[in-house]
Structure 1
Amino acid sequence: MVSSLILQHFSSLNRPKGVSLSHGNLKSNFSAIIKGLALSASDRILSVLPFYYSYGNSVLNTHLLTGGCLVLENSMMYPQLIVDKFDQENITVFYGVPSTYAILLKRTNLKEANFSSFRLLAQAGGPMPPAHINELKQLIGETDFYVMYGQTEASARLTILDAGSLNEKLGSIGKAVDGVTIEVRNKDGQPVESGVIGELCAFGKNIMPGYWRDEALTSSVMVDGWLHTGDLAYTDDEGFLYIDGRTSDMIKSGANRISPKEIEEVISELPDVAEVAVVGTPDELMGEVIKAFIVLAPDTELDQRTIQSYCLKNLAKYKVPKKISFTDELQKTQSGKVKRYLLKAS
């Protein structure tokens, strides 16, 4: 198959992959996104995402296809300028990754922003803490907020949580977009029942043919045309999908396998926390112990004991971080994902 686009993808583990995508892959997925978000020529998009990554590339092409207007802002260095442009440019659509919204919530006067022209905001690129979603929803009022999930290997998008389902299904990534079939499978490759955690696997015209000149890597994730995402997930009784973490991010502490996602969501509920990342660090006795890296909001103070006490009230004891490190920033890839391999090594 002839490649239309090769996207160099660096995972949070710093493993480079050349994702080869065909015209058919891209066309199928862009059409599904346009339908899922009801995009049109009347939309005005403020884009802060790099176009050489899957998320930004999908934003660029979906809005070019619909004839919408793209207002480019290629830096989050001065986040208040982003907020100012919402009103100046009569923006109707805005996309971000979790760190985008964390910065806007904690480091700008977003509370004073004018959202009257907005039609929707959307999030992808990793799980956004429910506490941040709720805080944002209070500010944007009736404006729709969509949660999206996908991978570069899927041309961008695999699922969308419709804005109308957000309150009832907070924490879900929604359901498969048009043209995509999703199954949650066990280690034997068999579909599991609702409520049972397994690996999220996807099939559709949007799925890549393979990695550029790397058959071994391709065969490790592609089986009979199905993409094995490496993400752990489950469905509820209504078929809504929930991510439980990545297999590579799981913390192995003693006899427990712990997903950092739940711990990050709890710590994010503290109003003085701007960002948090949780990893497992080596320990001679336990194998790994939980360590949280925390970025505080400007002009705030928080100590380790307060954080651990809050976690103990809201988590099982074995999920409470043993170590906490305060940092000025979390280093991220250019697509906005935390470089967890650096945190593990620190």
Structure 2
Amino acid sequence: MPVRYYDWIAHHARRTPDRIAAVDLASARRHSYRSFDDRIARLAEHLCRRLHVGRGDRVAVLALNSTDTLEVQFACGRLGAVFVPLNSRLTVPELAFIVGDAAPTVLVHDDDLAETALAVTARCETPGVLRLGPGGSYERAIAAAPRLETSATVTLDDMSTIMYTSGTTGRPKGAIITHGMTLWNCINLGGPAYITPSSVLLTVLPLFHTGGLNCYTNPVLHAGGTVQIMRAFDPGQALALISDPAAGINVFFGVPAIYQFMAQHPAFAGADFSRLIIGGVGGAPMPVPLLKIWEGRGVALQQGYGMTETSPAVLALDREDAARKAGSAGKPVLHTEVRVVKPDGTDAAVGELGELWVKGPNITPGYWNRPEANATSFTDGWLHTGDATRVDEEGFYYIVDRWKDMYISGGENVYPAEVEDVLYQLPAIAEAAVIGVPDARWGEVGVAIVALKAGQALCAGDIHAHCGANLARFKCPGTIHFIEALPRNATGKVHKPTLREKFGAPGSLDVAGAAAP
């Protein structure tokens, strides 16, 4: 018999009604679990009675971070509807594809994105629209509506969310997220991240991304803790909030770029991290030199690994091992199975590279309207992650790089993350990325794209010399390009398709010339 889904906000509204559930930092709104529950119940009633949202209908949100986004998520749960968060950085044509694919009954948007939202809804003929902000139709609806008194009977197997993955090629895919997946992620992350009712999380990643929504926003709300939502990440503001005893922040999560920008901020040296119980990091390989910088400030960043399709937690590094196993993503979380699989389909041995496969109740049942992706992404229930991975003799997993980012130079596999890690050892480098480009002699060679810290000087010859002293010759980038800043997506990950488009032409040389593998 399917297990019923229960609403966490409603539960904590009964159990600890006066505890603060969510703080919207941009507007200074503070919602107790009682008031949060009331707003969600009134929003659900309006969506149901006025906008005709029912079981299985989609409700999209196009907004910068706000507690309102969380209200939409939970209101959808009470109706059996499906929450569809949209990437706020996408263009009208990109959003029109996603909205056309998901076909939402309602699109909720904020003032800052009104022009884009209205253009998309006009193209896609979206029936209902709600505008966030003071005086907007969203607030008027909540103020006027009675509470939804009877929620739909929803099970853990029912779809809760469609989350579109950014992808590096082709059209984005809508990963189907069930209520069960989100619950299992709360359980899987709750222990390693030390999440309790006393947790106070600063959310800086966008809520349209699984990192912002589920690392650790939903787990903290599931536990009855408090989430403070930053509208858009600002390193100085984040450091000030973490340092402020009145804010009480003791839980934080970011992708490597978030920690890099904070470490480079002038306020980093004087920031107070003494209240942080957990500083989680994931989303991309973490440069070990950056881990060491934070370790020097008394923060052993706890690495982990996951993806949209896995809820996202798959691997987590225990706090006690964070420094000793710097660079590892840890071991599998409680309710998840993993394999490291070689190209021939057999399991890799200790220390041997393979692709990480994942299986368990936290894995997506598939992609929305994409049967071809469902057919190629799974083998006997195992999800192919596309990430090159190895396991050490103690059972710790290391995410080496994306399989598709690997290139072959002179017959040898080169993983850009390893080369980037060496580049970050140079103090003058603020950002670095490596891509493989075609080469007539070696098949492919590496190209390094580097941004320097303000006021720092470094020439291509310095970088070639450093790589030559620390890497096998075939791993050394043949060409160095200097730019002001690397292109990044909305979550802060380096957007390598943009770099390949700009710097991927074969045979290009920098002023220092190419070093042959």
**Residue of structure 2 aligned with 1:146, choices 292, 302, 312:** 302
> AA paired with 2:493?
K
**Residue matched to 2:250:** 92
2:295 is the alignment partner of 1:137: yes
The yes-or-no answer on 1:264 pairing with 2:420 is yes
Amino acid at match of 2:348: V
**Any conservation in 1 of the 2:294–2:300 contact (CA below 8 Å)?**
no
1:68 aligns with 2:229: no
The alignment status of 1:284 with 2:440, answered yes or no, reads yes
2:361 aligned to which of 205, 210, 213? 205
Kept in 1: contact 2:202–2:249 (CA 8 A)? yes
Report the TM-score when normalising by structure 2: 0.64
> Which of the residues 176, 188, 191 maps onto 2:332?
176
Match of 1:254 among 410, 419, 424: 410
Displacement, 1:254? 2.9
Q: Which amino acid aligns with 1:9?
A: T
> RMSD of aligned C-alpha atoms?
1.5
Alignment of 1:113-132 (within 5 A): 113-132=271-290
Q: Does 1:102 align with 2:260?
A: yes
CA deviations over 1:56-95 (Å, ceiling 9, x no partner): 110221111112221221223x421221111232321111
SS of 1:313 mapped into structure 2 = helix
**CA–CA separation in structure 2 for the residues paired with 1:27 and 1:96:** 21
- Cα 1:144–1:244 change in 2 (3 A) is closer
Kindly provide the amino acid, as one letter, of the partner of residue 2 in structure 1: D
Q: Match of 1:7?
A: 163
| Cα gap change, 1:56 to 1:270, in 2 (>3 Å) | same
1:28 aligns with 2:173: no
Could you say which residue in structure 2 is the equivalent of 1:37?
193
Q: Runs of 5+ in structure 1 lacking a partner?
A: none
Per-residue deviation, residues 77-122 of structure 1 (Å, max 9, x unmatched): x421221111232321111101111111123321110112221111
Structure 2 unaligned spans of 5+: 1-156, 503-517
1:196 aligns with 2:352: yes
Secondary structure at the counterpart of residue 159 of structure 2:
coil
User: Partners in 2 of 1:192 and 1:172 — Cα distance?
Assistant: 17
- Report the alpha carbon displacement of residue 14 of structure 1 after superposing the two structures with TM: 6.0
Measured in 1, the distance between the counterparts of 2:308 and 2:434 equals: 24
Comparing 4-13 and 205-214, the one that deviates more: 4-13
Query: Does the C-alpha gap of structure 1 residues 144 and 252 become closer, same or farther in structure 2, counting only changes over 3 Å?
Result: closer
Cα distance per residue 1:16-62 (max 9 Å; x no partner) = 11100111111111211112212012121111111111111102211
What whole-Å deviation, never above 9, does each CA across 1:143-187 have from its counterpart, x for those lacking one?
452101011110111000112112222211110001001111112
- Which letter does structure 2 place at the counterpart of 1:60? T
Does the Cα contact within 8 Å between 1:126 and 1:337 map onto a contact in 2?
yes
1:299 aligns with 2:455: yes
Q: Secondary structure of the residue that 1:37 maps to in structure 2?
A: coil
Offset at 1:13? 4.1
Distance 1:15 1:231 in 2: 20
**Residue 13 of structure 1 contacts residue 339 of structure 1 at CA under 8 Å; is this kept in 2?**
no
Q: What TM-score does the superposition give when structure 1 sets the normalisation length?
A: 0.95
1:156 is matched with: 312
- Asked if structure 2 preserves the Cα contact closer than 8 Å seen for 1:25 and 1:205, the reply is yes
Contact 2:194 2:278 (8 Å CA) reproduced: no
Q: Which amino acid aligns with 1:146?
A: Q
Q: Which deviates more from structure 2 when the two are superposed, residues 149-158 or residues 22-31?
A: 22-31
**AA paired with 2:223?**
T
- Residue identity matched to 1:164: E
How far residue 301 of structure 1 moved from its aligned partner, in angstroms, is 1.3
Separation in structure 2 between the aligned mates of residue 186 and residue 252 of structure 1, nearest angstrom: 17
Q: Which residue of 1 aligns with 2:70?
A: none
Contact 2:200–2:250 (8 Å) recurs in 1 = yes
> Structure 2 vs 1, CA of residues 178 and 330 (structure 1 numbering), >3 Å: closer, same or farther?
same
* Letter in structure 1 aligned against 2:225: G
> Counterparts of 1:98 and 1:47 in 2: how far apart (Å)?
15
Deviations 1:217-256, CA, capped at 9 Å, x for gaps: 1121111111111111111111111122111001122322
Q: 6-15 vs 233-242, which deviates more?
A: 6-15
Q: Report the structure number with the largest CA radius of gyration.
A: 2
Q: Return closer, same or farther for 1:305/1:15 CA change in 2, 3 Å cut-off.
A: farther
* CA distance, structure 2, for counterparts of residue 192 and residue 29 of structure 1: 27
Q: How many residues align?
A: 343
Bigger relative CO (Cα 8 Å, ≥ 6 apart): 1
Query: Secondary structure in 1 aligned to 2:418?
Result: helix
Counterpart AA for 1:184: V
- Against the structure 1 CA distance between its residues 14 and 171, is the aligned structure 2 distance closer, same or farther, given a 3 Å change threshold? farther
Counterpart amino acid of residue 65 in structure 1: H
Aligned counterparts of 1:268 and 1:152: Cα–Cα separation in 2: 28
Greater fraction of residues in strand: 1
Aligned 8 A contact 2:196 2:224 in 1: yes
CA distance in 1, matches of 2:325, 2:192: 17
**Correspondence for 1:238 among 370, 373, 394:** 394
